[in-house]
Structure 1
Amino acid sequence: MKYLTWLLNAAIFFVLFAFALNNQDTVTMHLFFGARWQAPLVLILLCALLLGVVLGVVVMLPLWLRARRRSAARPATAPIPLPPAVPDAVSTASRPPNGT
């Protein structure tokens, strides 16, 4: 299984590397207020991916912190006590009653 994971990771790396080599042309990105940014297409795509990851983490961070606070504030669960031992029917039936 370990070798299959390495093989899959290598395949993904080589596909992305080939994509990067095939997309080295400079593109112009038109931003707000007439600003322009010229960079290779792969760099622009990488920046867009990183921006999406950062925005996703920023949006999820309050929810993660709230869940962590709730789990830390919750008291540890006490072990459930076992019910008292009940004598089984066979051992009580074979004993003579008290006093005889």
Structure 2
Amino acid sequence: MKYLMWLLKAAIFFTLFAFALNNQQVVSVNFFFGTQWQAPLVLVVLATFAVGLAAGILMMMPRWWKKRKTIPHHSPAGNLNENPSSMHHGI
């Protein structure tokens, strides 16, 4: 299974690498008020993906924080403050 995962990762890497090599043409992205950005197509696609990913994470943050506040937190060793006799001592 470990080798299958490495093979899958390598296939994804080489697919993305071939995509990047095939899309090196310079493109122009026109913004408002005549502002223009020229960059290789693969960088424009990567930047668009990164902005979308960041926007999605920022939009989900309030929901994650709200859900995190409603979940009670427990220490990994249990709540030792409630019953001190439950503490195990040993050599």
Which category of TM-score, normalised to the shorter sequence, fits these structures? Answer: 0.7 to 0.9
TM-score normalised according to structure 1 size? 0.71
> Which residue in the other structure is 1:62 paired with?
62
Q: 1: distance between equivalents of 2:53 and 2:65?
A: 18
Q: Which runs of 5+ in 1 are unaligned?
A: 74-100
Identity of aligned residues (%): 53
Deviations 1:12-40 (A, max 9, x none): 00000001011111001111111100000
Total equivalences in the alignment: 74
Structure 1 residues 1-100: aligned runs within 5 Å = 1-72=1-72
Structure 1 segments (4+ residues) deviating >2 Å: none
TM-score normalised according to structure 2 size? 0.78
Cα deviation for residue 45 of structure 1 reads 0.3
**3-state SS of paired residue (1:38):** strand
Larger Rg: 1
Deviations 1:43-74 (A, max 9, x none): 0000000000000000000000000000037x
Q: Which runs of 5+ in 2 are unaligned?
A: 74-91
